[in-house]
């Protein structure tokens, strides 16, 4: 009858993984949490107000003078390696829910222009190269290009201005590209920009070329529409589907509603942090009420929420905005822990990668992420082993819900006294 909530603070890393410098040597200094705390103290003249994250044990995972170094809450704390190549929101969430993304293909668009162009032409589209640059202009309005916000070759985008083309048309282009793309994700993006999108094209790392989406104004101007088309995987062996089959209500909030598959889930897409938190709290209130009304046949439920504005602040290299988002999230976490007080109720706070706004570029950073678990019916603090993959977070959540972690494609439970491991290809 328990309720389990996973809150993903997008881009909130706690220090570089050993291979973080493989693409950009400077990324070995990445530390999103520590650098945001340091910068905000200097800029604001005070430490960030993060009492809920402190009570959840963040200071035990990433020691810092501005974080409490102990807590009297019954928590389990640790950190997780990513378990997939690069640093990417889609791959991070799919892995966290139990998919095996360890062998995702990394492929810049430049190596597949002929194949993609041929598929689009066969589908009836007008396809033009953009000068000598390795990206495509489709129907005079949609750019097919490398995604510059993830590591080179992880994702491709199909982007258009909604004043020029409908989102359905952009999505149609993206689906045709997805059919021949070897990469983890093809993303359809529609938004509003003051100038034509070709004005925002720039070179990325590793020979990639694409749209500078933050510079285009898509994130600032309202009306953003996004659809993530992922590589083929068995969604029935991910946590949301496994929970739904067991009769648990499943709610996906924020970006999680856009990128996770579960036919039975209630979806609450949102970008604004206040809206993400309100949807999450509303879902938890309903789940807790149902779980405690078990005499009427009620169950608790699973809620997975993504806070995206932290990641957007990282891309914009806006450290103070990142800190402001963290303070806003902290207030929401305090409310969540106040709701999740029943036997078996759990809150897991984690991330999908890093996005250090001080590291000198606008890309994700390959960092460990925190794993902070609120467990009101436990006693004391449990220090978790370093997780080899975010899939271990999903397996731990499954076990906490009384589900069999072996139903997931991969992942191992982290808590002592839990068991269950599964492994296998996608």
pLDDT in tens, 338-348: 999 998 999 99
Spatial separation of the C-alpha atoms in residues 136 and 283, rounded to whole Å = 42
Contact 333, 339 (CB under 8 A): no
Summary mean pLDDT of the chain: 92
Q: Most distant CA pair in the chain: distance in Å?
A: 68
Q: Provide the whole-model pTM.
A: 0.81
Closest CA to 11 of 384, 370, 273: 370
CATH code of the domain covering residue 394 = 3.40.720.10
pLDDT band at 151 (very low <50, low <70, confident <90, very high): confident
What percent of the chain clears pLDDT 70, i.e. is strictly above it?
Answer: 95
Based on the domain organization, do 302 and 385 belong to the same domain?
yes
Based on the domain organization, do 211 and 292 belong to the same domain?
no
Last residue of a domain, one of 174, 202, 230: 230
Based on the domain organization, do 222 and 345 belong to the same domain?
no
pLDDT band at 426 (very low <50, low <70, confident <90, very high): very low
Phi, psi (deg, nearest 5) at residue 324: -65, -40
Based on the domain organization, do 87 and 132 belong to the same domain?
no
Based on the domain organization, do 217 and 276 belong to the same domain?
no
Q: Has residue 355 got a pLDDT over 50?
A: yes
DSSP state of 228: E
pLDDT band at 417 (very low <50, low <70, confident <90, very high): low
The predicted pLDDT at position 230 comes to 81
What percent of the chain clears pLDDT 90, i.e. is strictly above it?
Answer: 81
Based on the domain organization, do 114 and 263 belong to the same domain?
no
Based on the domain organization, do 411 and 266 belong to the same domain?
yes
Based on the domain organization, do 84 and 190 belong to the same domain?
no
Overall number of domains in the chain: 2
Last residue of a domain, one of 208, 230, 252: 230
Last residue of a domain, one of 230, 261, 292: 230
Based on the domain organization, do 67 and 122 belong to the same domain?
no
Q: Has residue 221 got a pLDDT over 50?
A: yes
Q: Has residue 295 got a pLDDT over 80?
A: no
Based on the domain organization, do 77 and 117 belong to the same domain?
no
Spatial separation of the C-alpha atoms in residues 373 and 397, rounded to whole Å = 10
The predicted pLDDT at position 292 comes to 62
Q: Has residue 173 got a pLDDT over 80?
A: yes
Burial class, 175, CB count within 10 angstroms (exposed 0-12 / middle 13-18 / buried 19+)? middle
Q: Which domain holds residue 334?
A: 3-103+233-422
Q: How many CA atoms lie within 13 A of 145 on its CB side?
A: 28
Based on the domain organization, do 81 and 157 belong to the same domain?
no
Average pLDDT over residues 73-98: 94
Based on the domain organization, do 262 and 246 belong to the same domain?
yes
What is the torsion angle, in degrees rounded to the nearest 10, for the CA atoms of residue 177, residue 178, residue 180 and residue 185?
120
pLDDT band at 105 (very low <50, low <70, confident <90, very high): confident
């Amino acid at each position: 009858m328990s309720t389990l909530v996973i809150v993903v603070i997008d881009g909130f890393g706690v220090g570089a993984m050993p291979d973080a410098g493989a693409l950009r040597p400077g990324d070995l200094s990445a530390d999103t949490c520590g650098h945001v705390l340091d910068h905000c103290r200097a800029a604001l003249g005070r430490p960030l107000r993060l009492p809920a994250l402190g009570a959840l044990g963040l200071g035990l995972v990433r020691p810092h003078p501005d974080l409490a170094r102990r807590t009297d809450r019954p928590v389990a704390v640790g950190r997780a390696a990513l378990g997939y190549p690069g640093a990417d929101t889609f791959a991070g969430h799919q892995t966290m829910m139990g998919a095996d993304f360890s062998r995702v293909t990394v492929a810049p668009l430049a190596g597949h222009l002929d194949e993609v162009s041929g598929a689009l032409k066969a589908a009836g589209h007008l396809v033009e190269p953009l000068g000598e640059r390795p990206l495509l202009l489709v129907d005079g309005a949609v750019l097919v290009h490398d995604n510059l916000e993830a590591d080179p070759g992880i994702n491709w985008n199909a982007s258009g201005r909604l004043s020029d083309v409908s989102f359905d048309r952009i999505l149609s282009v993206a689906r045709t590209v997805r059919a021949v793309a070897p990469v983890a994700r093809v993303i359809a993006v529609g938004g509003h920009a003051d100038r034509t999108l070709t004005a925002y094209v720039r070179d990325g790392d590793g020979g990639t070329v694409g749209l500078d989406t933050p510079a285009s104004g898509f994130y600032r101007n309202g009306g953003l529409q996004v659809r993530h088309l992922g590589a083929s995987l068995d969604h029935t062996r991910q946590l949301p589907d496994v929970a739904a089959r067991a009769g648990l209500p499943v709610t996906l909030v924020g970006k999680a509603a856009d990128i996770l598959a579960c036919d039975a889930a209630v979806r609450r897409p949102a970008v604004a942090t206040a809206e993400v938190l309100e949807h999450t709290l509303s879902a938890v209130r309903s789940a807790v009420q149902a779980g405690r009304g078990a005499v009427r046949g009620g169950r608790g439920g699973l809620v997975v929420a993504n806070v995206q504005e932290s990641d957007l602040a990282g891309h914009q290299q806006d450290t103070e905005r990142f800190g402001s988002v963290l303070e806003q999230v902290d207030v929401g976490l305090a409310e969540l822990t106040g709701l999740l007080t029943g036997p078996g109720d759990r809150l897991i706070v984690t991330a999908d990668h890093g996005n250090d706004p001080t590291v000198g570029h606008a890309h994700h950073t390959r960092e460990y992420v925190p794993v902070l678990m609120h467990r009101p019916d436990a006693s004391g603090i449990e220090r978790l082993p370093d997780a080899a993959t975010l899939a271990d977070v999903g397996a731990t959540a499954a076990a906490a819900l009384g589900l069999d972690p072996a139903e997931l494609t991969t992942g191992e439970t982290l808590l002592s006294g839990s068991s269950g491991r599964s492994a296998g290809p996608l």
